[in-house]
Amino acid sequence: MKKLILLVFLFAMTRVYGQEQTVHLIPQPVEVKQSSGYYTLTKASTIGFADLQSRKTAEMLAQKLNIPTGFSIRAQQSKSGSIQFNLNKIPVPQIGKEGYTLISTSKGVVITANEAAGLFYGMQTLLQLLPKEIESKTTVKTNWKIPAVKITDYPRFGWRGIMLDVSRNFFTKEEVMLYIDQIARFKYNTFHWHLTDDNGWRIEIKSLPKLTEVGAWRVPRAGHFGQRPDPKPGEAATVGGFYTQNDIKEIIQYALDRNITIVPEIDVPGHSMAAIAAYPELSCSKDPNTKVNPGSSHSEWYGNGTFKMLVDNTLNPSDDKVYEFLDKVFTEVAALFPNQYIHVGGDECYKGYWKQDPGCQALMKKLNIRHIEDLQGYFMNRIEKILKAKGKKLLGWDEILEGGISPEATVMSWRGIQGGIEAAKMGHDVVMTPTTFAYLDYQQGESTIEPPIYSSLRLKKCYNYEPVPEGVDPKYILGGQGNLWTEQIPTLRHAEYMTWPRGWALAEDFWSPAEKKNWSDFVHRVETQFDRNEIAGINYSRAVYDPIITTSTQNGKRILEIESEMPGLDIYYTIDDAMPDNFTAKYTAPVELPEGPVTLRVITYRNGKPIGHLITLKPEDLKKR
């Protein structure tokens, strides 16, 4: 009897722990029920789609499966595939437009949804249920087992976005497609494409050819962005690029095939130096020597949110020719992009040149306005009328609230959450994308290791984000978005490093039920995804393994404190100029540092092996903590 009880207990534990080890999904579904058994994918497996709307997803799955398995599985119209895609004849209200159910047994897998988007997201979940080798770009021999599960899943928010800035650094058409494919895997449905700024104009406007002939190119420069030399007279601008309208159509279709809407951004009235370099008459200064900025310093920031532009990068709100110019731009942009929104920026608009301009002063007098900030409201209202005439809705950063904007405008809250709170209380739809939780260009780990930038954002803080602020009606919060500005991101490889794993945390913030979120469980799923990224050749950051080091002064003594985001790590350190390992001092409680020029070295271990970076903090670094 005792042996029987032991066997039953071991069997139960195998099921429980097998479930934890097998079903590691990001984002976490609404409901997962695992049972015993597997379906094993073989060369005899088939993929069936009951409706033609399901065909594209079925064919996409076949292509994804055949490369690593070496099989020749074909998608065909059928109601009895080993992996079957079905659309509900009568929609199930619970799962909505993007939800799905996935049932796998020893006989096969059935994915059901109300609409094609749900089938696509069900397919992404199915791929995560397969062994990690499914990410391989070459044939691999393994048992292609899919655990028996019943999943019911649907998103919490309708807007789940990632923004990529291609102005500061240009990314090719192929790189943009790769990035879109990566975010689609984690059920993002919006790609915010920051196409214009001071550092490059990236979209072909056929009626204004100089925007790309001049505005898409800058002089070559190396070094830290913001510290590079200014362009020299006569120096050739050879760095940059742009997307033709045919490129853009191709990328839009690629995204639509993956159920991603592309929201283009034309950043105005500030951040317009590339446009002004092409057409200097658009600014108040009308300086014919204006160049596309190569990453040189062109502003002074005063630490309280105020700043001064040293070069005029702002369109002139009092000049009707500016609105004629923008009408041409938005006519072509609106014709290219089928979605309802066009993002018009509106952020960080310096108004010092407006103050000095006689035309702006005359316009203020005509409008009977006293504050120069109100001119931005005037500008934005005119832009909104242009967009409305083309059947589009205005979307902008939270500065568009300054000076007044129509209730129909949608606001992206980036300067913390306050702009989103104010906008929602005014009745605006809001996308929450605050610097404090969603800026993927920020450092994600130890500042002495990470490439330098002005702020940091750890994975755990991303994961703990709640997009609906307290006291705000949730109906006004469309969802959230992570933003990747690329001043310090020159390559797609580095863009991947900055996006993952924080992009997984935000995906869960925007998709999964709030009550399902669990940090300890999430980091285990993150490690599973690390293994998949390794096989797929997609870069990612391991900063979650690096400790967080702080110092304080207590009763005149220096106290060292170290903590870890990742549970279960051992932290070892030295303060005697020796290299730390698992035979040096182990951190277990705050440590009193001795007087003198102490250098701290710290490293994390797990299961007796180093897992984090070696961190070295010299005396001057320790003081800053």
Question: Which regions of the chain are under pLDDT 70?
Answer: 1-21
DSSP letter, residue 168: S
Return the pLDDT at 338. Answer: 97
List residues bridging with 610 in a β-sheet: 605
- Considering only CA atoms, which of 483, 455, 487, 485 is closest in space to residue 296? 487
* Comma-separated ranges of CATH 2.60.40 domains in the chain: 546-624
Residues 98 and 118 sit within 8 Å (Cβ to Cβ): yes
Per the CB < 8 A criterion, the answer to whether 328 and 275 are in contact is no
The predicted structure's pLDDT at residue 5: 45
C-alpha span between 621 and 481 (Å, rounded): 33
User: How distant, in Å, are the alpha carbons of 79, 280, 315 from that of 285?
Assistant: 67, 8, 10
What pLDDT is attached to residue 10?
Answer: 41
Backbone angles phi, psi at 184, to 5 degrees: -65, -30
pLDDT at residue 305 in the model: 78
β-bridge mates for residue 103, sequence order: 110, 150
At residue 1, the pLDDT reads 46
By C-alpha distance, which of 414, 513, 417, 514 is closest to 469? Answer: 417
Q: Are 89 and 114 in contact (CB under 8 A)?
A: no
- Enumerate the active-site residues: 197, 271, 348
What pLDDT, on the 0 to 100 scale, is given for residue 110?
98
Q: Looking at this protein, which amino acid is placed at residue 395?
A: L
Long-range contacts of 578-587 (CB under 8 A, 24+ apart): 579/614, 580/614, 581/605, 581/610, 582/608, 582/610, 587/547, 587/562
The domain defined by 159-539 carries CATH number 3.20.20.80: yes
Task: Judge contact between 124 and 56, C-beta under 8 A.
Answer: no
> How far apart (Å, rounded) are the C-alpha atoms in residues 345 and 622?
40
CATH topology of domain 546-624: Immunoglobulin-like (2.60.40)
Which residue has 């285990």 as its token pair?
524
The token pair at 439 is 């800026």
Q: Give ranges for CATH 3.30.379.10 in the chain.
A: 24-153
Q: What is the pLDDT of residue 20?
A: 39
Question: Which pLDDT value is given to residue 58?
Answer: 98
Here the tokens at position 499 are: 């996006």
The C-alpha angle 510, 203, 289, rounded to 5 degrees, equals 120
* Model pLDDT, residue 11: 43
Helices of type H across 454-516: 459-463, 492-499, 502-511
| Lookup: tokens for 506 | 């935000």
For residue 407, what pLDDT is reported?
Answer: 85
pTM of this structure = 0.95
Give the pair of three-digit tokens for residue 498.
């900055």
**Homologous superfamily of 24-153 in CATH?**
Chitobiase/beta-hexosaminidase domain 2-like (3.30.379.10)
According to the model, what pLDDT value does residue 454 have? Answer: 86
Radius of gyration of the chain (CA): 27
Tallying the residues shown for the chain, one arrives at 625
Delimit the CATH 3.20.20.80 region(s) of the chain.
159-539
Burial of residue 496, with CB atoms counted within 10 A of its CB: 0-12 exposed, 13-18 middle, 19 or more buried: buried
